[in-house]
Structure 1
Amino acid sequence: MTRGVATECVRHVATCLAPARSVSPMDNRPPPAKKFKSSLSLCGQKRENVFTHEREREMQQQRRELPICRARGQLITHLRQRETLILIGETGSGKTTQIPQYLYEAGIGRQGIIAITQPRRMAAISLAARVAEEKKTELGKLIGYTVRFEDLTSDQSKIKFLTDGMLLREAIGDPLLRRYSVVILDEAHERTVHTDILFGIVKAAQRKRKELHKLPLKVIVMSATMDVDLFSQYFNGAPVLYLEGRQHSIQIFYTKKPQSDYLHASLVSIFQIHQEAPPWHNILVFLTGQEEIESMSRTCREIAKHLPQGCAQMTVLPLYASLPHPQQLRIFQLGQKDCRKVILSTNIAETSVTIPGIKYVVDTGMVKAKRYTPESGLEVLAVQQVSKAQAWQRTGRAGREHAGICYRLYTEDEFEKFLNMTVPEIQRCNLATVMLHLLALRIPNILTFDFISKPSPDAMQAAIEQLELLGAVEHKESQIILTAMGKKMAAFPLEPRFSKTLLLSPEFHCAEEILTIVSLLSVDSVLYNPHVKQDEVHSVRKKFISSEGDHMTLLNIYQAFKNVGAHKEWYKENFVNGRNMTMASQVRRQLREICVKFGVRLESSRSDTGNIRRCLAHALFLNAAELQPDGTYATLDTRQHVAIHPSSVLFHCKPSYVLYNELLHTSKCYMRDLCVVDAEWLYEAAPEYFGRKLKGVKS
């Protein structure tokens, strides 16, 4: 951790409270080979966990034992005196839950709302619930939260947890953030797109409020790991406070040799721990995505069924972003002492969240992330290595309540080659949404916006060109401004292409159907595809499948869902993920309200699916691919070779032109969520753009 340019460094804000010395990566380690032997002779079965009264009784004691507690007085002094602070505190120090309470209890920022941003909705919700519990108040009153499509706050709310994206949306309506007296930007090391923009927004709001003699805005940037020099410089030499101390020690073990199959290594690790550890020691495993997690969950449960009698039981719980909140809450329920809890999670569990009972962390060292190349116009979702900062965040999950152990499924030499910090998302994503937000924020010149890490000029220019093609921006007197369409597009919590689809839908008399499709594409898959029942799945799905593609198939499934209601038996019989379907229904309701606000005519095309596909073509034309003479596909924009994903209903078909929702790179570059379209519709959508790209249509 660098400490160079910080204008003030408060080192011992709290003393280290670790009861035993943490074992560093360089300490003596037992032979890793023992941990990864392939014997899986263990047992377990799933049981429902329940909250206990013991948690409530111990809560105040837990607060007093947090490393941050000893530094309370010193912290309040610094928080009161400083306009901007950067706070570095180890994972488990208590900074996220306690700092907002310290501010409120000391009367700092009571003139407005204390906002605490989180990169993920689950963290915002669970943290708000935890702080409300600690304050002994009903969630939604003094303590509230706001996440995408969900707001649990009231006029009484003074401490508000919210996703960085939601605070950014509030800034569009009020760039000075007048409702807030303190903004805490937590988990700053994650460097999400929304967080990076917020750095610039709160910095500008703080300066402007001072110039206008308004209520001062206090800004606190927090993380366990970050490039403090960069952040201190960006915030005009803001002081850096180091909160030293973690509550419990953590041992870290590496593998002796590189692991060619991290999924197999994870599985072996889980059951090796299960064999050797007491049953009340729970396990957290970091995997890369929903499909991988669900598959591993099934495998673990199947193995557990065939283990000898007398062994500890095992409850396997998946955790990923699109899992509905009630299902996510299961990971926080305290388990029984004779039943081990194994949580299989994406990087959603990396930060801020304390999962009860976690003793062991298994880190695969992999994460699924998007990467955009402006030169090719290709945005690909691919599995890649984590950074060192991410690895340390994952390690910290093991030492939240007691001494823990982290098994890293990679060698120490491999770890040393990891990037120190995660590449900021703003430097590896399509910037169309970013540029739209900045224009909606009335930034005078978006190309010179005060980014903490500036994206490449090529990426910014490519984003502006995309928005121009979508009719969202125009050039006026050497400035880029939003069109009337662009202003409406910015009001939807969606990617610009989906906002455009909704706003165009009245022209094609299919707004109701487009609402449904966009909502279904905004959540993880509503389809459940167990590998062991593929023939049965295919047979059942026949009644829904449309030869016009996945969009129409999803529409058929949703309409059937609405006709029968949310019946568990229907979900089971049709292999539909009821949790995701319910979430899509909630998203649809919220989007419909925004459409009503803008006077969008909510008509139904009824049986005319051609109009629906034509509407999709007019808004999603940038994601189009064309069948080649050799039977393969190429994107129309960059001629990138792509293939139809096996999960698509069009996998065995060869339509001439298709739209796709996203590209996923595994063994090859796959198109997912496809819709059959006509070349003429694409040409109608953007004649100049497609005049030189479509072989089937002449300009």
Structure 2
Amino acid sequence: MSENEGMSDGQRAVGELASGEVFAFGDDLEINQFDGLPYSSRYYKLLKERKTLPVWQSRSQFLHLLRSNQLVIVSGTTKTGKSSQIPQWCAEFCLSAQFRHGTVVCTQIHQQQAINLALRVADEMDVNIGHEVGYRIPLESCCSGETALRYCTDDVLLREMMSDPLLEHYGAVVLDQAHERTVSTDLLLALLKEVLRQRPELRVVVLSIPQAAERLLGHYVATIPLLTLDWPVTAKVVHSSSCHSDRFYPALRLVLEIHWTKEEGDIAVFLASAQEVDSAFEILCKESSKLSLGLGELVPMPLCPGRPVVYSNITGEHLNSRRVFLSHSQAEDMFWAVDSVNFIIDTGMEKKSVYNPRIRANSEVLRTISRCQADLRKQLTGPTGKCFCLYPEETPLPAESTPLLLESNITSTILFLKRMEIAGLTHCDFINRPDPESLMQALEELDYLAALDDDGNLSEIGIIMSEFPLDPQMAKALLASCEFDCVSEVVTIAAMVAAPSCFLQPAVGMETEARQCHMKFQHPEGDHFTLINIYNGFKQSRRHPCEFSVPKWCQDYFLCYSALQTADAIRLELLDILRRIELPISEPMFGTKANTLNIKRALLAGFFMQIARDVDDSGNYFMLTNKHIAQVDPLSCYGSKAHKMGLPEWVIFYEHSLSENCIRIICPITPETFIQMAPQYFFYNLPPSESKEILQHMLGHTGSASSKENINMLTVHTQADPSEPQSNDRCVLQ
């Protein structure tokens, strides 16, 4: 039988899957059924490569299971090809039913992964990206009305459920990387159980690694089929005898030692954090420039979540050079397209951000990886590869990684679930239920923010807050800005804090110059206003006719161009949402005294739980909600040693880092304004302290009745006079 004839049989087999009907694709083997055009020669070349993937051997079995079951779990490693092939077969299944029940969506946990897989699958299906195959990630969509298969991030699919709770647009949902247990993926796994009950025609496929498959099977009461994909790997594993926890420099020395041996193959190094990846990249770049030409070029290449990477750079062969892929946790699946790795260096450590609900703060914890992660990394090489584990073989590793749902602030998650209850999805069966203390803290916070009514259901304010892709506190501040006529300024602040940090880490020896450049943007009213100055400076630089002027402007001021681009895109998205739900958008009045006060009022409407007071005039800030003492972040305008304005006594801050014991993004406030904006039942629930006594004394003088009226109704409405002169306090960039 020829290859074409085999393809025809496969297509006819898929045609029989929809409700037992026979949907013949026709006898013309040259026609692509997704776009109606003849197949190109590249399609057949890629088809041969696809048939060599381990997953291809299970194609018929998978299609049979998909026809007979609503839910299928597929277990296999990164190299089996499951992420690229199974969504295609689901698309064929939906096509066989003429998309009567919808199209196909496949979730990923990383944005770059979704883009790269969409590009690869569009190539394999011989269609145009953005048409039959597309992708959708936050702030970017490459899809059309004819898209049959869409890759997206798991959080994007969650946002879609707000307007389409039963996902009626889709006939098949593929949840990839379920073993990573992100908050969004856990939410989807929980909600889809109820969606499947209400939509018998829907198909859900969960992709995981073998070590996590049993946990997923145990989550479902009914008998769920498990398809296990074989991936025989006999890579040699070498464990270190050293128990030392500092494995960063030993990993880099091992990279150079492997390169000196001249053995063929690229190297993958798994470090503890993104910061270590950046440091390793700088060190290896310097060391590679010192190597002799006879050894070949050593090319360090970060391959980790959140970093853009060109797909063509990680595939194929690079003559006379050796690539060193630098990565960290949750990046193992990003090696699906890398076939050249012959050496794995695993430090066995990861740095995770863990949320403490008692003090409402994150801390970075350095700990060992799980056994699942360790096994997955060993399987990223070919059969002749070597895996160097820089920890003893007897090192106790936890069986699985802790689900992020148990280590994150779940206030946004609870707000989303309350929104889903309105849509009819009242049952959410988590694999691991949130910690009761975290749950109570989240409900308490939503209650303080007036997002819940007296019955614990979502209030009208809560419904509007859930429309914004922001944390609930910032969403509430943005709503309050509509009352205080400072939308333009607060939406800029929201975008800047939602985007990655705009401050570049200066090279060694350039710290003073970078600090001086950043000081040119500093505003006397604090970091929130400084961020507005930076964004306005960025927008002004974009008016220059030269297209290269903006990146150069950012480089000159030690600012991150991509982060500011992201902030600009987030700001546009937030403004679109405000227009869609018909909220008023005031004209910019940045710099007037009334506008400055209104911005602080809007921020306090959302962040009144994050107030601190300098108790000794030396920068030791006492946080009223948890009675902890913290310092000001060095990047703050008040953290600069050259700051001449003095430290404010009372401040509002955006976040508290427990590991560094600092408060970030602060601006001064008056206690009178705080009393005016904070709900009284929050104020009276504050733990006893000297700072609370000061506020109680002020509250007794101002009158509790008038304060309560101002607090809950947000009726304090100060409109700036457009004719009012600009404040002389404003920092203007020269």
**TM-score category by the smaller chain?**
0.7 to 0.9
| Alignment partner, residue 607 of structure 1 | 591
Matched, 1:671 2:663: yes
Rounded to whole Å, the distance in 1 between the matches of 2:110 and 2:627 is 35
1:697 corresponds in structure 2 to 695
Q: Which letter maps to 1:245?
A: D
2:244 is the counterpart of 1:259 = yes
1:455 aligns with 2:445: no
Q: Does 1:174 align with 2:176?
A: no
- In the superposition, relative to structure 1, how do residues 101 and 312 fare at CA in structure 2: closer, same or farther (>3 Å)? same
Match of 1:682 in 2: 674
Task: Write the deviation string for residues 450-502 of structure 1: whole angstroms up to 9, x where unpaired.
Answer: 222111222212111101111211223xxx21111111111111211121222
Q: Which runs of 5+ in 2 are unaligned?
A: 1-40, 543-548, 700-734
Q: 2:191·2:427 contact (CA, 8 Å) conserved in 1?
A: no
Q: Which amino acid aligns with 1:186?
A: D
Is structure 2 residue 484 aligned with structure 1 residue 499? no
What is the CA-CA distance between 1:286 and the residue it aligns to? Answer: 2.6
Give the TM-score, by structure 1 length.
Answer: 0.84
Contact 2:166 2:199 in 1 (8 A): yes
Deviations 1:329-373 (A, max 9, x none): 474354631122223234352225424333333222233323223
Q: Which residue of 2 aligns with 1:149?
A: 139
- Separation (CA, whole Å) in 2 of partners of 1:345 and 1:309: 26
Alignment partner of 1:116: what SS? strand
**Secondary structure, aligned partner of 1:526:** coil
Residues 172-223 of structure 1, C-alpha deviation per residue, up to 9 Å, x if partnerless?
212211111111111111111111111121111111124xxxxx11121110
Structure 1: distance between partners of 2:82 and 2:257 = 34
Given that 1:335 and 1:341 are in contact with CA atoms closer than 8 Å, whether structure 2 keeps it comes out as: no
Cα offsets for 1:88-138 (capped at 9, x unmatched): 112211111111112333556643111211122222221111111111111
Structure 2 counterpart of 1:273, which letter?
I
2:105 pairs, out of 107, 115, 127, with 115
Of residues 535, 538, 546, the one that matches 2:515 is: 538
The one-letter code of the counterpart of 1:92 is: K
Match of 2:380 among 397, 417, 441: 397
The answer to whether the aligner puts 1:659 opposite 2:652 as a matched pair is yes
Aligned partner of residue 86 in structure 1, secondary structure: strand
Deviation at 1:440, TM superposition (A): 0.8
Separation in 2 of the partners of 1:562 and 1:509? 22
Q: 1:547 to 1:129 in 2, by over 3 A?
A: same
- Equivalent positions of 1:317-356 (< 5 A) are 317-323=301-307, 325=308, 327=309, 329=311, 331-332=313-314, 334=316, 336-351=318-333, 353-356=335-338
Instruction: Give the direction of change, closer, same or farther, for the CA distance of 1:679–1:538 in structure 2 (3 Å limit).
Output: same
* Residue of structure 1 in register with 2:286 after alignment: 302
- Given that 1:322 and 1:524 are in contact with CA atoms closer than 8 Å, whether structure 2 keeps it comes out as no
TM-score, length-scaled by structure 2: 0.80
Aligned with 2:358: secondary structure?
Answer: coil
Give unpaired runs (5+ residues) of structure 1.
Answer: 1-53, 211-215
Corresponding residue of 1:206: 196
The RMSD of aligned alpha carbons is 2.7
User: Identity of aligned pairs, percent?
Assistant: 29
1:534 deviates by: 0.6
1:85 corresponds to which of 54, 66, 72: 72
8 Å contact kept, 1:89–1:224: yes
* 2:4 equivalent in structure 1: none
1:60 equivalent among 25, 47, 64: 47
Comparing 84-93 with 441-450, greater Cα deviation is found at 441-450
Q: After the TM superposition, which of the residue ranges 520-529 and 679-688 deviates more from structure 2?
A: 679-688
2:354 to 371, 374, 380: 371
SS in structure 1 at match of 2:538:
helix
Contact 2:451–2:458 (Cα < 8 Å) also in 1: yes
Counterpart in the other structure of 1:633: 621
Which whole-Å CA distance do the structure 2 matches of 1:248 and 1:544 have between them? Answer: 55
Structure 2 partner of 1:411 = 392
Of the three residues 105, 116, 131, the one matched with 1:126 is 116
State the partner residue of 2:204. 219
Change (3 A) 1:602 1:250: farther
Map 1:238-257 onto structure 2 (within 5 A).
238-246=223-231, 249-257=234-242
Partners of 2:485 and 2:53 lie apart in 1 by 59
The CA deviation string for residues 146-195 of structure 1, in whole angstroms up to 9 with x for no partner, is: 21122211111111111111111111212211111111111111111111
Aligned residues: 631
Conserved in 2, the CA contact under 8 Å of 1:80 and 1:108?
no
Who is 1:163 aligned against? Answer: 153
- SS of the residue 1:482 aligns to: coil
Residue pair 2:621, 2:629 contacting (<8 A) in 1 also: yes
Matched, 1:438 2:438: no
User: Bigger CA drift: 345-354 or 263-272?
Assistant: 345-354
- Aligned-partner Cα distance in 2 for 1:305–1:113: 50
State whether structure 2 residue 500 is matched by structure 1 residue 524. yes
CA contact (8 A) 1:439 1:446 kept: no
CA distance in 2, matches of 1:284, 1:166: 30
Distance 1:237 1:372 in 2: 34
1:17: which partner in 2?
none
Tell me the equivalent position of 1:35.
Answer: none
Q: Give the counterpart letter for 2:354 in structure 1.
A: R
2:633 maps to a residue whose letter is: H
2:573 pairs with 1:586: no
CA contact (8 A) 1:366 1:385 kept: yes
Q: Which residue of 2 aligns with 1:428?
A: 407
The match for 1:360 among 331, 334, 343 is 343
**Residues 547 and 296 (structure 1), Cα distance of their counterparts in 2 relative to 1, 3 Å cut:** farther
Contact 1:117/1:124, CA 8 A, preserved across alignment = yes
Which residues in structure 2 correspond to 1:90-101 (within 5 Å)? 90-101=77-88
Deviation at 1:292, TM superposition (A): 3.2
Distance 1:591 1:262 in 2: 43
- Rounded Cα–Cα distance in structure 2 between residues aligned with 1:660 and 1:384: 29
Q: Which amino acid aligns with 1:347?
A: S
Tell me the distance in 2 between the aligned counterparts of 1:56 and 1:623: 57
Shift of 1:670: 2.9
- Could you tell me how far 1:556 is from its partner in structure 2? 1.4
Q: More deviation in 302-311 or 75-84?
A: 302-311
CA contact (8 A) 1:120 1:348 kept: no
Larger Rg: 2
- The 1:237/1:446 distance shift into structure 2, 3 A limit, reads closer
Letter in 2 for 1:103: C
> Which gives a bigger RCO, structure 1 or 2 (Cα 8 Å, sep 6+)?
1
State the AA in 2 paired with 1:144: G
Report the secondary structure of 2:652's partner residue. Answer: strand
Distance 1:133 1:248, change over 3 A: farther
Cross-structure match for 1:560: 537
Distance 2:306 2:214 in 1: 35
- Partner secondary structure for residue 406 of structure 1: strand
Residue number in structure 1 paired with 2:5: none
Equivalent residue letter for 2:283: T
- Kept after mapping to 1: 8 A contact 2:191/2:428: no
Per-residue deviation, 1:509: 2.4
Q: 1:240 to 1:672 in 2, by over 3 A?
A: farther
